[in-house]
Amino acid sequence: MGVSGGVDKVIASRLVSEDCQTNKVEIGKPHPVDGGPTECIYRIDAHGPWTAQGTDELAALYAALTQVGQRLAWANRNSGRRQHLDAVLLGGKRCDASKVRRQPRHRRGPRYRAGHPGTAGEGSASG
């Protein structure tokens, strides 16, 4: 299946996963537009399509990859404030909080001070 009705060739497709979100990113082959810039159409989880533009095919592809990164970064920044991501952006998948990996908590060890028992400052070396 193509990225949009006018573009039937997907040149890049990848699953991007973080925590409990998995998003499929599809990028279509860049194509020149008559009298205008070259366009590259992309989707995230079948939402979109969005169009990135550039002066040539490589520039349009780079613009699409940059925009995908910006959309995913925006979703990551905002996901902590909501239980699920914006449906318009990433398909509205709900996140099972029990599956989210959390940073481990590190316990602090005992404090060592000069002269405290069990430290190099304990007692005197000369006796």
Tens-digit pLDDT profile for residues 24-54: 889 999 999 998 999 999 988 877 889 999 9
Kindly indicate the confidence band of residue 8, based on its pLDDT and cuts at 50, 70 and 90: low
Q: How far is CA 60 from CA 9, 36, 96, 112, 127, in A?
A: 15, 12, 36, 58, 77
Return the pLDDT at 108: 56
The token duo for 57 is 């095919």
Task: Give the span between the Cα atoms of 22 and 127, in whole angstroms.
Answer: 66
Q: Model confidence over 62-114: pLDDT tens digits?
A: 999 999 988 888 877 766 554 444 444 554 445 554 444 444 455 555 555 55
Residue 104 lies in a domain: no
Domain that holds residue 27: 10-96
Residue 20 lies in a domain: yes
Residue 106 lies in a domain: no
Return the pLDDT at 120: 52
Residue 102 lies in a domain: no
How many domains does the structure of the chain reveal?
Answer: 1
